[in-house]
Amino acid sequence: MKQKLEDIKQNVINCTKCDLCKTRTNSVPGKGNFKSDVIFVGEAPGRNEDKNGEPFVGVAGKKLSAALDEAGISRESVYITNVVKCRPPKNRVPSTDERETCKEYLKQEISIIKPKIICILGNTAFNSILGGSEITKFRGKVVRKDNQLYFLTIHPAATIYNQQLIDVLKEDILKLFDNIRELKDGKEITIDIEYAS
């Protein structure tokens, strides 16, 4: 299992499947515990991530860490990744084409880790994975599609200049881990939205 993730990581590092490979410094493969119950999925690497080759190590990453801390969860215990693994120039939103091309890696990460739930961070991930929009309307909700559970919340970057949103993110992450505990105890959790496949 760990070896397969290591293979994906190497493939991401060497990937030239879309034009973002021309402008990146480093690809940013997913990182974390391959036995995690949850995969966090962001949009795409930013400047710090591009520099370091690791996801969520900049200011947005600090916000995510703070929300995890609040729930008593260490970053090392979870798995964190992005829809797109290379930084789009000037942090523009990755194009449909870039997302579709790169999504194969995310699918592989999910099929190896088999998380109990996937935590979608913000609109780009929401749109890329579930075809959704208006995350602020749907945040805090549990979705089921094709027998996979998803939890929807805002992107940590949205909280940088908005103290109210940091409380929203923290509240959502607490709810996420409450749900994970229930799932581990074999309990039924409330599904807010059933998606047709």
- Distance of alpha carbon 100 from alpha carbon 118, whole angstroms: 18
Structure token pair of residue 124: 């780009």
CB of 34 to ligand URA, least distance (A): 18
Structure token pair of residue 25: 């410094």
Chosen from ligand URA, ligand SF4, none, partner binding at 11 (C-beta under 5 to 8 Å by type): none
Chosen from ligand SF4, ligand URA, none, partner binding at 38 (C-beta under 5 to 8 Å by type): none
* 28 or 73: CB nearest ligand URA: 28
**Region from 50-58, 111-119, 158-166, 177-185 binding ligand URA, contact rule CB under 6 A:** 50-58
* 28 or 57: CB nearest ligand SF4: 28
**Region from 43-51, 111-119, 128-136, 167-175 binding ligand URA, contact rule CB under 6 A:** 43-51
One-letter amino acid at 78 equals: V
Among the listed residues 45, 53, 94, 132, the single contact to ligand URA using CB under 6 A: 45
Among the listed residues 4, 17, 141, 145, the single contact to ligand SF4 using CB under 6 A: 17
Distances (CA, A) of 17 to 14, 23, 120, 158: 9, 13, 24, 29
**Region from 11-19, 48-56, 134-142, 161-169 binding ligand SF4, contact rule CB under 6 A:** 11-19
Helices (H), the chain: 2-14, 20-23, 47-52, 59-70, 96-113, 123-130, 135-138, 163-184
- Distance of alpha carbon 124 from alpha carbon 84, whole angstroms: 10
Tokens 């094709």 locate to: 146
Chosen from ligand URA, ligand SF4, none, partner binding at 32 (C-beta under 5 to 8 Å by type): none
The contacts of residue 79 (CB under 8 Å, 6+ apart) are 30, 31, 32, 33, 34, 36, 38, 39, 40, 109, 113, 115
Touching ligand URA, residues 138-167 (CB under 6 A): 157
In angstroms and rounded to an integer, the radius of gyration of the C-alpha atoms of the chain is 16
* 60 or 117: CB nearest ligand URA: 60
Chosen from ligand URA, ligand SF4, none, partner binding at 157 (C-beta under 5 to 8 Å by type): ligand URA
Q: Which residues here bind ligand URA, judged by CB under 6 A? A: 42-46, 49, 55-56, 58, 60-61, 82, 157
